[in-house]
Amino acid sequence: DRDWKEIEKDSVLKALVVYSNTSYFLYKGQPMGFEYELLERLAKDLGLRLQLTVSEYLDNEFEVLNRGDVDLIAHGMTITNQRKWEVDFTDYLYLTKQVLVQKKPDNFRNLSRGSLQKRLIKDPVELINDTISVRKNSSYYERILSLNNEIGGRIIIDTLSSHLTTDEIIDMVANGEIRYTVADENLAKINASYRPILDVSVPISFSQRIAWVTRKKSGELRNKINQWLKKQRKTTDYNVIYNKYFKNKRSFRRRVKSDYFSLSENQISSYDRLIKKHAETIGWDWRLIASQIYQESKFDPYSVSWAGAQGLLQIMPATAKAIGVTNPNDPNQSIKAGVKYLNINQGYFEEVTASIEKIKLTLA
């Protein structure tokens, strides 16, 4: 029954997000994504603090929402009549259509356009008796069922794990692990810009509305979000944010090829191994140390501050000398010394029993 009055009283908007190439991700230690940027603006305009939960199972998101764990599912979901039995949708974020994602032949660059077209599916009818791989509780699954009726034949549906995002499934096609999948056109195109071996030119649906999801009983919250979205869609900022994640191919390729893109490399920085090793000596979550390094130096081992602090953790020369650092630009020495210095500071607060408060005091 949690609706706007309860949310306003708590001053917290709880949103469920998906960790993906476009919706929400970390890049150079910074949270980014289409949904993330919109949510930040929404929470600020509503006077709320934003609390994010990353979805682990895409198949049970409606259950998570309806039992009250979150107030909003904030990633692009296709509005369908079947889904409206369980939840209500906000006003739409954008329009798109579903397309077939297929892999071109490995030697596609050497083929003529005509030869290439002969090797690819050009019409959904050609998929009869073939297999498409999608998550079961997705709009793509619903679309293939409808398509079977429309074409008067059977397309075999291979159901995939609910852990997998659409981006990861698209990668499976590119890697040859599955033959075909279905994706929203904007997602498919931006991923194909990085994976030219993919063909995403065959539509399998008409235009569809993509929106966020609320509980049926959250009418007031939904009205607040709808009013906000209608205003936002008319602004330049909204279009800039959309283009940033779905249209800017150069920026997308730069992100996914970067060592600092957590989705492709499954890491925060190229120093994660060292950070994990030295974080054990102080008993802190290594990601907190990584966050501190980002704040200090943006992961640049040669960074020098105006005051003369050097290295990943910006250690002052006198401090470096006192704790045995011979080369402040060496990542191993810098992280080891920085963690040692944090541990020394932590020792000043032995009388503080709450571990989180002790960490805050140490960082301060």
Q: What is the pLDDT of residues 50-74, one digit of tens each?
A: 999 999 888 899 999 999 999 999 9
Res 48: pLDDT: 97
Q: What is the mean pLDDT of residues 158-186?
A: 94
CA gap 148, 156 in Å, rounded: 9
pLDDT band at 254 (very low <50, low <70, confident <90, very high): confident
Res 43: pLDDT: 97
pLDDT band at 172 (very low <50, low <70, confident <90, very high): very high
Q: What is the mean pLDDT of residues 298-313?
A: 90
Across the chain, mean pLDDT equals: 92
Given a cut of 70, is residue 273 above it in pLDDT? yes
Return the percentage of the chain with pLDDT > 70, whole number: 97
CA gap 312, 225 in Å, rounded: 41
CA gap 43, 59 in Å, rounded: 26
Res 264: pLDDT: 57
Res 253: pLDDT: 82
pLDDT tens, position by position, 212-251: 999 999 999 999 999 999 999 999 999 999 999 999 988 8
Q: pTM value?
A: 0.74
Handedness of CA 358, 360, 363, 364 (dihedral sign): negative
Res 30: pLDDT: 77
Res 358: pLDDT: 92
At position 296, the amino acid (one-letter code) is E
**In terms of DSSP bridges, do strands 180-184 and 98-103 run parallel, antiparallel, or are they unpaired?**
antiparallel
Given a cut of 80, is residue 265 above it in pLDDT? no
Least-confidence region, from 198-212, 248-262, 276-290, 343-357: 248-262
CA gap 105, 124 in Å, rounded: 19
More confident residue, 101 or 109: 101
Q: What is the mean pLDDT of residues 247-258?
A: 82
Res 263: pLDDT: 64
Quick check: helix, strand or coil at residue 106?
coil
Tokens representing 221 are 């919250």
Least-confidence region, from 28-37, 208-217, 239-248, 334-343: 28-37
CB distance 293 to 271 below 8 Å: yes
Q: What is the mean pLDDT of residues 92-103?
A: 96
Q: What is the mean pLDDT of residues 125-133?
A: 96
Q: What is the mean pLDDT of residues 159-165?
A: 91
Res 266: pLDDT: 64
| Burial state string for 18-41 with b = 16 or more CB within 10 A and e = fewer than 16 | bbbbbbbbbbbbeebbbbbbbbeb
